[in-house]
Amino acid sequence: MVAANVYLGADALIEAMAQGAQVVITGRVADPSLALAPLCYYHSWAGDDWDKLAAGALAGHLIECGTQVTGGYFADPGVKEVPGMASLGYPLVEVERNGRLVGTKPPGTGGLVTEQTFKEQLLYEIHNPAAYITPDVVIDLEHVRVRQLAKDRVEATGVRGKPAPDRLKTTVSFLDGYQGEAEISYAGPNAFARANLARETLRQRLALRCPANLRARFDLIGISSVFDGDSQLTAQTLQDAANDIRLRLAVEHADKSVVELATQELLALYCCGPAGGGGVRRHHTQRLKTASYLVPRQQVAPAVTLHGGEGNE
């Protein structure tokens, strides 16, 4: 095991501010907690005022993804137009003591804040709208109402909160062998047929030269790197439209030399494969794997250390 990172909540951050900290540096903290902590400190919200905590955590959820609320990840030309993409303003959320919140952005910046941009981020990464679990509060979004107040000003009301969970998410990282990637491009007339032949040639050579427990994936980027699976059904329907394809090999194995051998076979396609391959790159690295667990809250004891102050650096 290399590391274990608990998704902490706002409590330790509030304690740091109460001790006079002007800048708080922390390890893994749930994204909404970074906004909830200063709101709790400033508004003196109680630790069990679940509706207000939910409103503060919702504010954090709305601004946690950069410019999504102001149009950054929202933009889709011809479908969802966003002006001023090169000068997007980062979102601001004004949160009152009673939990009312209004989203906006700095004046004179690009982008837009609308009911649509708000709702898209509101539901982003939400598994259960009635129970969005954070370390500080379980947020109930079922009764939230979003309303445009003015240009680039949107109000959200009706958020409710439920008691915080008894267990905290923990991500454990551990070493798990090696992984490698290699790519080569095929372009121009008959590109798909040449790239597909390269893929099948590479697949057979790996079967001849590498151990049977080598895990390998073959992608034709531009044809079947996202939607297609190992069946390659999508690739067959798009082959006539493609004339610029990049073959990608990804492999993993416990033995680094096996990974290097596998990617070497793609390198060999330069002269031992179909015509016209070029632009090879290879990369190998130790594989760091992660797994998530739920840890009882009472087993986690974050500590706050205050540095600096008058006469200190």
Residue 251 has pLDDT above 90, yes or no: yes
Residues 195, 159 share a domain: no
Phi, psi (rounded to 5 degrees) for 98: -80, 0
Higher pLDDT, residue 130 or 235: 130
* pLDDT (0 to 100) of residue 110: 96
C-beta separation of 13 from 37 below 8 A: yes
- In Å, how far from its chain's centre is CA 256? 28
Here the CATH number for the domain that contains residue 247 is 3.30.70.60
Pair 147, 189 in one domain: no
Same domain, 144 and 15: yes
**Residue 257: exposed, middle, or buried by beta-carbon count in 10 A (0-12, 13-18, 19+)?**
exposed
- Residues 179 and 251: beta-carbon distance below 8 Å: yes
Q: Does 147 lie in the same domain as 56?
A: yes
Q: Which of 135, 165, 195 is the last residue of a domain?
A: 165
| Residue-wise pLDDT tens digits, 167-217 | 999 999 999 999 999 999 998 888 888 999 999 999 999 999 999 999 999
**Can you tell me the distance from the alpha carbon of 63 to that of 90, in angstroms, rounded to the nearest whole number?**
8
Same domain flag for 83 and 178: no
**What is the pLDDT, as a whole number, of residue 313?**
42
Domain match, 160 and 97 both? yes
Q: What is the pLDDT of residue 223?
A: 74
Give the H or E element holding residue 3: strand 3-6
Count of domains forming the chain: 2
Name the pLDDT band for 311 (thresholds 50, 70, 90).
very low
Give domain status of residue 119, yes or no. yes
Overall average pLDDT of the 131-144 stretch = 96
Task: Establish if 298 belongs to a structural domain.
Answer: no
244 and 122 part of one domain: no
Q: Is residue 93 part of a domain?
A: yes
Q: Please, is 142 exposed, middle or buried when counting C-beta atoms within 10 Å of its C-beta (0-12, 13-18, 19+)?
A: exposed
For 210-246, write each residue's pLDDT tens digit: 999 999 999 988 775 544 555 555 555 555 557 888 9
Mean of per-residue pLDDT scores for the chain: 92
Q: Percentage of residues in the chain with pLDDT exceeding 90?
A: 85
Task: Indicate yes or no: pTM above 0.85.
Answer: no
Examine residue 309 and state whether it is found in any structural domain, yes or no. Answer: no
Asked if residue 297 is part of any domain, the answer here is no
- Same-domain check for residues 91 and 159: yes
Sign of CA dihedral 6, 9, 11, 15: positive
- Residue count (the chain): 313
In the prediction, which pLDDT does 233 show? 54
Look at residue 303 and tell me if it is in a domain.
no
Average pLDDT of span 287-292: 94
Residue numbers of the domain that contains 194 = 173-291
In a domain, 301, yes or no: no
Rounded Cα distance between 192 and 78, Å, is 30
In a domain, residue 300? The reply is no
The mean pLDDT value for 261-280 works out to 94
Residues 154 and 193 in one domain: no
pLDDT digits (tens, 9 = 90+) for 78-120: 999 999 999 999 999 999 999 999 999 999 999 999 999 999 9
150 and 192 belong to one structural domain: no
pLDDT of residue 312: 45
**Same domain, yes or no, for 80 and 148?**
yes
On whether both 230 and 256 belong to a single domain, the answer is yes
pLDDT at 308: 83
**What's 23's DSSP letter?**
S
**Residue matched to tokens 């001849």:** 208
Confidence of residue 41 (pLDDT cuts 50, 70, 90): very high
